[in-house]
Amino acid sequence: MVLPLLTAVHRRSIIIALITVSCVCYFMTVSPEDGYSSSKILSPEQLDSMGVLGIAQMSEALLDLAPPAESKPSHPHDPSIPRRANATLVMLARNSDLDGVVSSVEQLEAKFNRKFNYPWVFLNDEPFSYDFKRRVKVLTDADVSFGLIPRETWVQPPWIDEERARKGRNMLMKEGVIYGGSVSYRNMCRFNSGFFFHHELLTPYKWYWRVEPDVRFYCDLEYDPFVFMEDHDKIYGFTISMPEWKPTITSLWSAVKEFISDHPEYVSPNNSMDFISDDAGDTYNMCHFWSNFEIADMDFWRGEAYTKFFDYLENTGGFYYERWGDAPIHSIAAALFTRKDQLHFFKDIGYKHAEFAHCPQGRQWREGHCSCNPNDNFDFAQNSCLRHFMRLDDWMFG
């Protein structure tokens, strides 16, 4: 590296010259015919992010904006290009999650999306940093967008009785329940339950694959799971299921029972009550699909049954007075308001979040070139709910 050997004055003039040259080159190469509209050159967002950059980073940012040497050809009618679903990958994350985000995106890109090029949507309750966007965008050729979550779909609503909410938090903290005292965790669970699919970056899509920071994807995926869902009339796909912490949802099941007795018309005749209840609906057995992985249909969440269901739950305040998770809420709705054959166990997707893994077995493990240990598999562990799912119908697993 030569720069450190030069004086500060030399360095500054070299950098200024570099910026000047790159600006000139850039504006010479950009023309409307290239498909790079001039509004894209310096969007307010980019100007905003550059405002906080040093001069060296600024020259780098300008160089970054230069169009690639060869623009991607587009063949909208080429029959050799396989059918694509109306789908996106989505991740909720904080700026501080960056390393885990990069790790998850890197793996999903390598194992699946490099071939399929589905867009990515990242959501945050605070603006994503310049560094976050730069480090994430570089990982894929697919479209990447970064969205801010509207405050009213994130923060604790003003009509919540804060005194009562505080008591609820203190009680869960005393019981040692994970995130028992956290308001931001509650915001996250409520957002994932009732609002993410209405975010303006997600409304253009029907299907989504939810990804979290710091998860593992172990196997190659050679087919398109969104197209699979569509072709098989599926609504909700999962990899891991387990029971919820009882004290976090003390009154959830009674609210669910009230809702379905008011609205029996939403309950599917071929529902999966046997997944979530061991006594035909009298009590909840705490089983849920682990929602940090989901491949599902947002139009189901946007539909009448789920909308009314969520509004009903929301009005009880249970997201804040207790600590209702999006996993039991999604799972109960998917179990009751869809047909059981519309739920799908992605047994061929090797996945790990925290200490729980699903590792494909046998032929699927070999063909997926899976890097997981087939014995590190939660499927039939003591606490797994997979056997509850499988008892719904044996023919589904033939």
Write out the catalytic residue numbers. 294
* Smallest distance, ligand NAG to C-beta of residue 123, A: 17
* Smallest distance, ligand NAG to C-beta of residue 37, A: 21
What residue 125 binds from ligand GTP, ligand NAG, Mg ion, none (CB within 5 to 8 A, per partner kind)?
ligand GTP
Q: Taking a C-beta distance cutoff of 8 angstroms, is the pair 232, 238 a contact? A: no
For the window 163-202, what string marks contact with Mg ion as x by the rule CB under 5 A? ----------------------------------------
With residue 217 as reference, give the H or E element that holds it. strand 216-217
Residue 89 touches ligand GTP, criterion: CB under 6 A: no
Q: What does the alpha-carbon distance between residue 269 and residue 246 come to, in Å, rounded to a whole number?
A: 28
The tokens describing 392, both together, are: 């719904």
* Smallest distance, ligand GTP to C-beta of residue 102, A: 13
Q: Residues near 73 by Cβ (< 8 Å), separated by ≥ 6?
A: none
With residue 178 as reference, give the H or E element that holds it. none
Strand partners for 26:
none
* Smallest distance, Mg ion to C-beta of residue 14, A: 45
Q: Contact region for ligand GTP (CB under 6 A) — 72-80, 182-190, 254-262, 294-302?
A: 182-190
Backbone angles phi, psi at 208, to 5 degrees: -145, 155
The single residue listed with the structure tokens 């000047």 is 20
How many residues touch Mg ion (CB under 5 A)?
1
Strand partners for 88:
208
- In degrees to the nearest 10, what's the CA dihedral of 146, 148, 154, 155? 140
Residue 241 touches ligand GTP, criterion: CB under 6 A: no
Q: Which is nearer to ligand NAG, 29 or 86 (CB)?
A: 86
* Smallest distance, ligand GTP to C-beta of residue 188, A: 4
Q: Contact region for ligand NAG (CB under 6 A) — 74-82, 190-198, 204-212, 357-365?
A: 204-212
DSSP letters of 254-315?
A: HHHHHHHHH-GGGS-TT--HHHH-SSTTSS---EEE-TTSEEEEHHHHHSHHHHHHHHHHHH
Distances from the Cα of 258 to the Cα of 218, 235, 253, 283, 312, angstroms: 41, 24, 9, 13, 9
Q: What does the alpha-carbon distance between residue 211 and residue 56 come to, in Å, rounded to a whole number?
A: 34
Sole binder of ligand GTP in the list 61, 188, 229, 357 (CB under 6 A): 188
Q: Characterize the bridge pairing of strands 216-217 and 294-297.
A: unpaired
Residue 307 touches ligand NAG, criterion: CB under 6 A: no
* Smallest distance, ligand NAG to C-beta of residue 342, A: 10
Sole binder of ligand GTP in the list 248, 292, 338, 342 (CB under 6 A): 292
Q: Which of the residues 313 through 372 are near ligand GTP (CB under 6 A)?
A: 354
Sole binder of ligand NAG in the list 212, 299, 314, 376 (CB under 6 A): 299
Binding site residues, ligand NAG, CB under 6 A: 86, 204-206, 269-270, 299, 339
Binding site residues, ligand GTP, CB under 6 A: 92-94, 97, 124-125, 184-185, 188, 212-213, 292, 354
